[in-house]
Structure 1
Amino acid sequence: MRDVKMNSIRSIDRAIDILESFNNEISNLSIDEIVSHTKLAKTTVYRMLYTLEKRGLIRYDKETATYFLGLKLLDLAGNLNSITSLKTLAVPLLIEMQQKTQQTVMMVVPDGDTMIYVFTCENSVGLKYSSYTGQRRSMNYGVIGKIFMAYAEQEQRERLLNLPISSHTKKTVSNVNEIMKQLQSILEQGYHVELEETNPGVHGISAPILDKNNKCIAAIGLLGPSVQLIGDELERCKSILVETSHQISLQIPSQFSF
């Protein structure tokens, strides 16, 4: 995101706050729930919702007196050609990787100092780690976040290193010097392995998707129970993931922009 010396438009910020109240876990909200989430006055929220509804970005259900995201958002999402193209290239290979490893597989793209999960695939039954498409995380989160930090420009990397790091588990690495060693190792090896640093009982592996200019335009990850991703099986899955990341990277066209 550009650093422009200009104030944002408050009404647009508020409208976006309302839209971001919805997620994969909460698809419909009452006006009181939206007020609670946004901390805006109820009259303001009502006017904003009415405007968004007129433009097709919000739907209202009279029977339940709740609001949903509108179908117009699908039209807007369809304009994200770069992400769509990347998914078209990557998804067949990611599905193949999931079938070979039988673990949760995901692809994530950077967005400013955050990252968005654009693809996930997991086993329908059995012991597994679950995630969902559309989830947004800070770029200093988890096994995939380390990939983006490693390939980030120096200014962004320093900014991310200065962000507070939550101790998700007893094994979370929070020392900046140790994190910098991890980032250097990623640049040298081309992958990252995390053992219960973000979630207890979960191991993870990640690798970058690089364009022709060696820019990290996405990252893929594999997460699974620590009782399964260990020893020879961890090494096997790591080899599969690294090879998959290479295959996807090789298919990125030279004119690809992100």
Structure 2
Amino acid sequence: MSQSVRAVERALDILLCFSREEPTRSLTQIAESVQMSKTTVHRLLTTLELKRFISRDKATGLYRLGFRLIEMASLVLQDIELQRWAIPYLQRLSSRYGETVDMSILEGSHVMYLEVIESPQRVKIAAAVGQRLPAYYTASGKAILAFLPEERVRPILEKNLAEGNSLIKRTVPEMLAHLKEISERGYAIAEEEYEQDINAVAAP
């Protein structure tokens, strides 16, 4: 691997070490997460900051993802024809039932939320656009997986199971049987499977 390719890989590792749970991180935390020296990480962070992919709080010294990523994400979303087509239907559903409505796609072993129309109610919960969750533990993920061939679904279920984030414990065969029920019914329900008190229904 050439040095330039390695540098790109390291820079991407730094960007990927941030998460919804840890949106800000110190130099030491980043270095430990990506297993690089502080000197190397600092050099890469400086470059990423100049390009606005990373921003640094001067008061605390903590780093966070920069606004350049939001600009790039908006370009991706604008280019998705499905999203533009679906928004009026999502808005109609949310208005009719007074609940949060979202649209997601399968990305690897996770679902990623492309659009979210929040409930008009004062007390509500909603996924964030761009958020990724284990496919099997969401209603939308189940609705997608239920209509895919088993040879494609099984590795996804194994990955989801290995993450160990579900509140409901099932084996892979039990998961497959559950997906078969969903395919016969035509829609999926998730009841407190990923987070307590969170329920959802979805159709492919």
| SS of structure 2 residue aligned to 1:140 | helix
Q: 1: CA distance between counterparts of 2:46 and 2:136?
A: 37
- 2:128 corresponds to which of 132, 136, 148: 132
Change beyond 3 A, Cα 1:83–1:25: farther
1:168 aligns with 2:166: yes
Q: Shift of the alpha carbon at 1:150? A: 2.0
Change over 3 Å in CA distance of 1:29–1:124 after alignment to 2: farther
| Equivalent in 47, 51, 71 of residue 51 of structure 1 | 47
Cα distance in 2 between the residues matched to 1:187 and 1:151? 6
Segments of structure 2 that go 5 or more residues without pairing to the other structure are: none
Give deviations 1:205-254, integer Å, cap 9, x for gaps: 0111xxxxxxxxxxxxxxxxxxxxxxxxxxxxxxxxxxxxxxxxxxxxxx
- Alpha-carbon distance in 2 for matches of 1:43, 1:117: 36
Q: TM-score, normalised by structure 2?
A: 0.78
In the alignment, structure 1 residue 101 sits paired with structure 2 residue 97? yes
CA distance in 2, matches of 1:96, 1:41: 52
Provide the C-alpha distance between the structure 2 equivalents of 1:182 and 1:193, rounded to a whole number of angstroms.
11
Name the counterpart of 1:118. 114
SS in 2 for 1:129: coil
In 1, Cα distance between the equivalents of 2:57 and 2:172?
49
Gaps of 5+ in 1: 1-8, 209-258
Query: Contact 1:150–1:186 (CA<8 Å) still a contact in 2?
Result: yes
- Alignment equivalent of 1:180, drawn from 155, 176, 182: 176
Matched ranges for 1:33-72 at <5 A: 33-72=29-68
Map 1:76-87 → 2, pairs under 5 A = 76-80=72-76, 84-87=80-83
Residues 36 and 167 (structure 1), Cα distance of their counterparts in 2 relative to 1, 3 Å cut? closer
Root mean square deviation, CA, Å: 2.9
Percent of residue pairs identical: 30
SS of structure 2 residue aligned to 1:131:
coil
Q: Provide the rounded CA distance (Å) in 1 between the counterparts of 2:123 and 2:75.
A: 37
Question: How far does residue 78 in structure 1 lie from its aligned partner after superposition?
Answer: 4.1
Q: Matched residue pairs, number?
A: 198
Higher helix share: 2
The residue type paired with residue 193 of structure 2 is E
**Residues of 2 paired with 1:89 and 1:113: CA distance?**
25
> How far has the Cα of 1:24 moved from its partner?
5.0
> Which amino acid counterpart does residue 137 of structure 1 have in structure 2?
L
CA deviation string 1:50-106 (max 9, x = no partner):
222233322334344333433332443244267632221112221221222222222
Instruction: Give the corresponding residue for 1:223.
Output: none
Structure 1: distance between partners of 2:199 and 2:96: 17
